[in-house]
Structure 1
Amino acid sequence: MDIDGITLSVVIPMYNEEAVLPLLAARLRPVLDGLGEAYEVVAVDDGSRDSTAAQLMGMRRLWPQLRVIRLRRNGGHQAALTAGLARSVGEYVVSLDADLQDPPEKIPEMLALARRDGLDIVYGVRGDRSTDTRYKRWTAGIYYKLMRRLIGKNVTADAGDFRLLSRQTVNALLELPNSGGQVLRLLVPWIGFPSGQVAYVREERAAGRTKYPLSKMLLLTLDSVTSFSAAPLRLATMLGLCSVILCGILLITGLFAYVLHYTVSGWASLYISILFLGAVQLLCLGLLGEYIGRIYTTVQGRPTYFVGYDSADETADELVAVR
């Protein structure tokens, strides 16, 4: 496929998506073919352990616009998405998950809006999440409220990784330090380029299992907070200040009790004080450790992904043919 003159790149990170791939191709290809624009689909296999990679190579024989990138190991959703953005060549780039919860039919509307209003960013906003579980809607609501409170109102509520970016926006993102813990759904609004929104109805996962269980959602929240806000450090400072005030009150109370010869057993207050002060100290040390660990990772400068194969690389094609 000739990568010159491509208008639209669609980047799709994938991890163990063998069940949903046929459904994805059946819905995505007619939409892109109907645009009448030169396009590429950049499928990033994030170290899948199932037949995802093999299916992608088979689909590529019948779909010349499909470009397959395979990472040497699993780097996580955000790392795979960054790899796809870095390798894409389109004038506009749409990021899309493979599970079809975000409808590819909205891509033409996003592209038309960006061109009409001269926008660099078009967010896909989930106007209706009724297909999500009540627990999923509740946790997502807490996450976005927390991010808007800590980071700023520029964070679009209910906007995930389904978005359109101009080439200028992609280049700006790639110029940022590529350290661990990147959260693109927060980095993109932080850039502050002109943006718009396209609303859509959140659908159920077409097939396969979710790649964002509770543990990963908690890690995403932790990365989001520590990457974009110093509020936890200020919280640690406030907790320390409250502890000092409490200790001062207890000290004054103890002195009065000593002067007035008022004796009590004191075991309960001593027990509670020790537990409280110990918990605050451990919390503050943990928060400091998160930031120090992030600084350590950034200083190391290690890449978050390693590309093992790119079908757009003619040399790679030759190597595969030899094998």
Structure 2
Amino acid sequence: MDISVVIPLYNEEESLPELCAWIKRVMDEHQFSYEIIMVDDGSKDKSWQVIQSLKAENEHVTGVRFRRNYGKSAALNVGFAAAQGDVVITMDADLQDSPDEIPELYDRIKNQGADLVSGWKKKRYDPLTKTIPTKLFNSVTRSMSGIDNLHDFNCGLKAYKKDVVKSIEVYGEMHRYIPVLAKWAGFSNIQEQVVQHFPRKYGTTKFGPGRFVKGFLDLMSIFFVGKFAKRPMHFFGPLGVISFLIGIFITIYLIIEKLMSIANGTAYRNVTDQPLFYLSLVAILIGSQLFLTGFIAELVSRNGTDRNKYHIDQVI
């Protein structure tokens, strides 16, 4: 099979028939073998009934329905698990992404060797309350990930080599950071393609302002897990040692200061009367806790079922 189109959706009953017909037209024009995987993320409207009717009309349509709303990342993860095509295309169900982009995306994966091609909505039709925070997150993600050739990490229109979607796990709000997950999994040929962005035709956006807070926390999780999942002591250990040594040095300084005062016969304050004493005490306690946290995390990591799980590219 050439292409799997994965479409996560929530309350998009009006747009689904038009989107499915649009995809079918593009696939038939270019003679692609394909499947359309629609993942209903617990919709409250008639989206599932629409998917059932589309399935009856088009054998290439597959529907997956969640019992409740789990989020876009969960829907994508399930869609990736079900995908069988050599190239996997993801797009939103709101008709803001154009299926006419699929042939070029397919060509860049299949014939030009890209691992992942992310869409860039250079001209957007979203309100400022959505575009400004998105630009901020894109800037931070570029800086932290080192993937500086992408302008829009969160674009729903992306193309993947099949190996990519089978090698990553998407959860939480991590759908916006899939290029970062792909990079950590060893897929380095990540490219970008300028794509069309259309105004929303039906309904309203399903994302609220809370997604930015969750997205930032997931960004921190990605970088911590990606770098230190198999060696947590390398993160907690140095911080703990530095904090502990700072506390020890302050304590030594206070003791020397008191001994010198006694030797010189000058007045001195008790060590416990000085603010530096409590600072040193806090530093020692925090350092000890960080070191022990790293030690315990190391034990957990060593006993994990995936402690020796690595992504292998080829064996000859």
Q: TM-score, normalised by structure 2?
A: 0.69
* Structure 1 match to 2:226: 228
Give the alignment partner of residue 57 of structure 1, picking from 52, 58, 69.
52
- SS of 1:85's partner is helix
Q: Is the 8 A contact 2:244 2:284 kept in 1?
A: no
- Give unpaired runs (5+ residues) of structure 2: 263-267, 308-316
Mapping of 1:144-183 within 5 angstroms? 144-148=142-146, 158-160=152-154, 162-167=157-162, 169=163, 173-174=165-166, 176=167
* Structure 2 match to 1:97: 92
- Give unpaired runs (5+ residues) of structure 1: 1-5, 301-323
* Structure 1 match to 2:207: 210
Q: What is the distance in 1 between the residues matched to 2:298 and 2:255?
A: 39
Shift of 1:44: 1.7
Q: Is the 8 A contact 2:116 2:161 kept in 1?
A: no
Residues 210-250 of structure 1, C-alpha deviation per residue, up to 9 Å, x if partnerless? 27713431342143123311297544333222212211221
Q: Does 1:268 align with 2:265?
A: no
Q: Is the 8 A contact 2:74 2:170 kept in 1?
A: no
Shift of 1:92: 2.3
- SS of 1:164's partner is strand
Residues 242-278 of structure 1, C-alpha deviation per residue, up to 9 Å, x if partnerless? 2122112212221122211421673533444455555
* Structure 1 match to 2:244: 244
Shift of 1:123: 0.7
Structure showing greater Rg: 2
- Percent identity reads 22
Tell me the amino acid that sits aligned with residue 263 of structure 1: R
- Counting strand residues as a fraction of each chain, which structure ranks higher? 1
Report the RMSD for the aligned CA atoms in angstroms. Answer: 4.1
Q: What is the distance in 2 between the residues matched to 1:103 and 1:287?
A: 47
Moved more, 156-165 or 132-141: 156-165
Distance 1:220 1:177, change over 3 A: closer
Q: What is the distance in 1 between the residues matched to 2:293 and 2:17?
A: 45
Mapping of 1:36-51 within 5 angstroms? 36-51=31-46
Q: Is the 8 A contact 1:7 1:37 kept in 2?
A: yes
Q: Is the 8 A contact 2:247 2:282 kept in 1?
A: no
Mapping of 1:58-137 within 5 angstroms? 58-71=53-66, 76-117=71-112, 119=113, 121-126=115-120, 128=122, 131=126, 132-137=130-135
Residues 284-307 of structure 1, C-alpha deviation per residue, up to 9 Å, x if partnerless? 77777878778888569xxxxxxx
Q: Is the 8 A contact 2:240 2:290 kept in 1?
A: no
Q: What is the distance in 1 between the residues matched to 2:188 and 2:250?
A: 53
Shift of 1:73: 5.6
Number of matched residues?
286
Distance 1:16 1:269, change over 3 A: farther
Shift of 1:41: 0.9
Q: TM-score, normalised by structure 1?
A: 0.68
* Structure 2 match to 1:11: 6
Tell me the amino acid that sits aligned with residue 59 of structure 1: L
Distance 1:299 1:92, change over 3 A: closer
Q: What is the distance in 2 between the residues matched to 1:100 and 1:281?
A: 54
Q: Is the 8 A contact 2:77 2:171 kept in 1?
A: no
Q: What is the distance in 2 between the residues matched to 1:18 and 1:280?
A: 55
Q: Is the 8 A contact 1:9 1:41 kept in 2?
A: yes
* Structure 1 match to 2:313: none
Tell me the amino acid that sits aligned with residue 186 of structure 1: V
* Structure 2 match to 1:312: none
- SS of 2:205's partner is coil
Q: What is the distance in 1 between the residues matched to 2:297 and 2:14?
A: 37
Tell me the amino acid that sits aligned with residue 182 of structure 2: V
